[in-house]
Structure 1
């Protein structure tokens, strides 16, 4: 199975989960299910520190979070595939350890099947620019997927996962934060 993901230019942010999709068949509306979309628990936040061994609040360069993802889908090619548009919003904070005005946040999207097998995974990099005098900023990214479907298969057989690309140290820090 070949799943294709492409990235679009940044767009307005939407909140919520992936909505149900609809399409027309002989002029009639039909509601067909979309894949579910979720932010991976433990990979929804990232803290980047300035270079060096320090790891206290004064060493934080940037922090960011992925807010719940939203999107839509459309069945195409006589229901042999589904095209999904996923909107990912990243909100960032510039910390006292930041040396520049742009934080760069790597994140991934993955398509899984009902067995949680990863069918496709892609890495993206999203720069967040912090205007002078502002410590908070955000960006929205749009990602398109095309998922082939077997006969009588619906898109809700798939899940789309999103999260930050984390180092072991960052993942451990997030897990510790969640357990508090």
Structure 2
């Protein structure tokens, strides 16, 4: 079954006697311009984010499922990734961090055919003060479980990231052609769950279970 999981699967200035009277209006106009520019920038970012997450971007979105889709979620204890130099749990010793922000998914099946699932996973990834390079490859997984939570299949994926001198980057990646065979047409998608998470160490699992959050220390540009 594991082999059936495949990855295919972001001024103006015036001078003269009238200046004193005009300056307040200029400041107001400049503020309006800045607000407008900021609003346009925010709108552009929102549009980009909506485009990344829009369901129509999923290959299966126009196909119909005969029943409910499997429940797709991020596993809490594997939702965040924190790596520290020399295992020192401090912001000044952070190398790489990551968080899975959410998953948008779609499914399709009919009759007794297998369930096909496609998804888009959103990541926020960070480079800490002790990061040894400007690039890192994060590893995450997608697992299919049944109603009893038994793992039916699990596949690992690599997510290479270049920070380009930035401290954080947001990435949206697709995973497609997740195929879940069914014994008969009476077995609906609600009998299965699809879980997503980082490939984490036991120490990271404990960090996440405790509900800890990480914030970068301020670092002077080199």
TM-score normalised to the size of structure 2? Answer: 0.67
**Which structure 2 segments of 5+ residues have no match?**
11-50, 214-222
Q: 1:36 aligns with which of 64, 71, 76?
A: 71
Q: 1:103 aligns with which of 123, 127, 136?
A: 136
Q: CA-to-partner distance for each residue in 1:38-60, whole Å, 9 max, x for gaps?
A: 1011110011123x243311110
Q: 1:117 matched to which residue of 2?
A: 150
> RMSD between aligned alpha carbons?
2.7
Write 1 or 2 for the structure with the bigger share of strand: 1
1:106–1:164 CA contact under 8 A, matched in 2 = yes
Q: Answer whether contact 2:70 2:193 (CA < 8 A) is retained.
A: yes
Aligned pair in 2 of structure 1 residues 97, 113: CA closer, same or farther (>3 Å)? same
Normalising by structure 1, what TM-score?
0.81
| Structure ranking higher in helix proportion | 2
What secondary structure does 2:133 align onto? coil
Give the secondary-structure state (helix, strand or coil) at the position aligned to 1:42: helix
1:14 maps onto 2:53 in alignment: yes
Q: 1:67 aligns with which of 82, 101, 106?
A: 101
8 Å Cα contact 2:141-2:156 kept in structure 1: yes
CA distance in structure 1 between the aligned counterparts of 2:54 and 2:128, rounded to whole angstroms: 25
- Equivalent positions of 1:28-177 (< 5 A) are 32-50=67-85, 52-75=86-109, 78-132=111-165, 134-144=166-176, 145-151=178-184, 152-177=186-211
Q: Please say which structure displays the higher CA radius of gyration.
A: 2
Q: Secondary structure at the match of 2:210?
A: helix
- 1:136 CA drift (Å): 1.2
Measured in 1, the distance between the counterparts of 2:61 and 2:169 equals 31
CA apart distance, 1:150: 2.3
The Cα of 1:67 is off from its aligned counterpart by 1.3
Aligned partner of residue 132 in structure 2, secondary structure: coil
Q: CA deviation at 1:140?
A: 2.2
**Helix, strand or coil at the partner of 1:32:** coil
Structure 1 stretches lacking a partner, 5+ long: 25-29
